[in-house]
Each structure stands twice: as C-alpha cells, then as structure tokens.
Amino acid sequence: MKKIGVMNRNLIKKFKQLKFERIPVKTRILKPKDDIVEIIREYAGNLLKQGDIITVSESPLAITQGRAIPVEEIRIGLLARILWRFVANVKYGIGLRSPTSMQCAIDEVGSLRILLAAFIGALGKLVGRKGDFYRVAGKQAALIDAATTSPIPPYTECVIKGPRDPEKVAQKIRDELGFEAAIMDINDIGGCWMIGGSTGIDKTFMEEIMNDNPQGQGDELTPICIIRERA
C-alpha cells in the first residue's frame, strides 16, 4: 500500500454538539480510467478507521470517468453561440457563461431541454426569480465546470462535466471498502451540495460538516476527505 500524503490542516467542526475531524487526503493527479475505489484504497487505506465517512469531490471523480473534455475537441453549435451570452454572471464561477461549457450542457441534456430552460429562466427573471434555468436544465447541466476553472494541468483547458451516477459510485465505495461515502460539490464561497451518497449517509449532516470546504479550491490535490467523530 502506498504511503499517503495528508495536508497539514486537519480541521475540527461541530455538528449538534459533536466534534468531527475532517482529514483531506492528498493524491497524485487523477486520470481518465482511474478506479476511484482503488485510488481511495491506495491513498487513504492506512488512514481509515471504523466509523469514518469518505467524501470524494465531484470534479476529480468526473475526470476518472473521462468527463474532462479538452476545449479543442468541442464543436460549438449555433445554439451554444447564442445562449451562453444570456447566462448571468455569478460570483461562484463561469458555469455555462462560455460557448464551450454551454455546448457541453447541450450535448449532455439535449437542445430542447436547454431551450426550455432558457425560456423558463427568462420568464423567471422578468418576475425577479433566479435559478429557473438550472432547475429546468437539471443537475448535470448545473454541475458543468467551464474551462480554466480547474487549476491543475492538463485540466485547465478542459470543460469538466458532472460525474456519472454519483449515487452508484458512493454505494460502490461503501460496498467495496466498508465505509459510508458521499460525492460532494463544494466551493470556497459557501456552496456545498451532496450529489450522491451511500445508503447510510445523511445529506443535511454532510452539507453542514463540509460547507467550509476543508479540501480547498486550488491545486491541493486532495480529492478525498475522511470525516471522523472525535471524543
């Protein structure tokens, strides 16, 4: 088993009067066709203790599934060239406000759904309501990270789609390694969503315990985090 690297910022956080340690685990740069279960086994296996919970960040998981698409491979259609301009600027990233990421959303969920989302989103804006576009377009459209979002080469010039079947991946981790698991989408400005979890996971707990992003948002190379209750 490979010796793991762990960041020097094991953080403690309270939840309902209980204390939990979050242990970010450093890995190598992940690649397409890596098996996330084997990555966890290799880099976190000698850290895990009974009762721990494993979290995996959504973008690194997506990379292992071949979901990082180099921008030079994306053929931008007319619809993407038109619609990306109408996506609102947001403080948490580019999202679909780019021709390449919009094209990936169209490829992922279909042009008709994206058109409907754009129409409903425009109506929502007229009455001062936000978020309708992504509610209609769906989770996979919302999970797309535009090129330049990742700080880690060679993925800096890739659009990264959301991971496939995050619920099934989390359950696979639980079944093969014996620890509850969650797939998390987290950013540095308070956004924290569990997009998939094994059967014993509480979504409210996971989103509260991870909402300060203990794994970081830069080039830390910590796609895995272990959550452990402290006495």
Pairing of β 158-160 and β 180-186: unpaired
Provide the pLDDT for residue 35.
Answer: 98
- Distance in Å from the first CA to the final CA of the chain: 29
Share of residues in the chain with pLDDT > 70 (%): 92
Q: How many structural domains are present in the chain? A: 2
Provide the pLDDT for residue 1.
Answer: 39
- For the full predicted model, state whether its pTM sits above 0.85: yes
Provide the pLDDT for residue 6.
Answer: 44
Average pLDDT, the chain: 90
What is the number of other CB atoms lying within 10 angstroms of the CB of residue 220?
A: 14
The encoded tokens of residue 219 equal 């080039």
**118 and 91 in a common domain:** yes
pLDDT at 10 over 60: no
90 lies in which domain range?
69-160
Boundary residue ending a domain (125, 160, 195): 160
Looking up residue 167, the CATH number of its domain turns out to be 3.30.1330.100
Which regions of the chain does DSSP assign to beta strands (E)? 5-6, 11-15, 18-26, 53-57, 68-70, 158-160, 180-186, 192-197, 224-230
Confidence class of residue 131 from pLDDT cuts 50, 70 and 90? confident
Boundary residue ending a domain (120, 140, 160): 160
**136 and 177 in a common domain:** no
Provide the pLDDT for residue 104.
Answer: 97
**170 and 156 in a common domain:** no
Alpha carbons within 13 A on the beta-carbon side of 117: 27
pLDDT digits (tens, 9 = 90+) for 31-81: 999 999 999 999 999 999 999 999 999 999 999 999 999 999 999 999 999
Beta-carbon contacts of residue 199 (< 8 Å; ≥ 6 apart): 171, 174
pLDDT digits (tens, 9 = 90+) for 185-195: 987 666 899 99
Provide the pLDDT for residue 84.
Answer: 92
**85 and 38 in a common domain:** no
Share of residues in the chain with pLDDT > 90 (%): 72
**209 and 196 in a common domain:** yes
Alpha carbons within 13 A on the beta-carbon side of 126: 6
The string of DSSP letters for 91-141 reads TTB-TT-SHHHHHHHHHHH-HHHHHHHHHHHHHHHHTT---HHHHHH-HHH
pLDDT digits (tens, 9 = 90+) for 138-176: 999 999 999 988 889 999 999 999 999 999 999 999 999
Q: What's the rounded Cα separation, in Å, for the pair 28 and 14?
A: 30
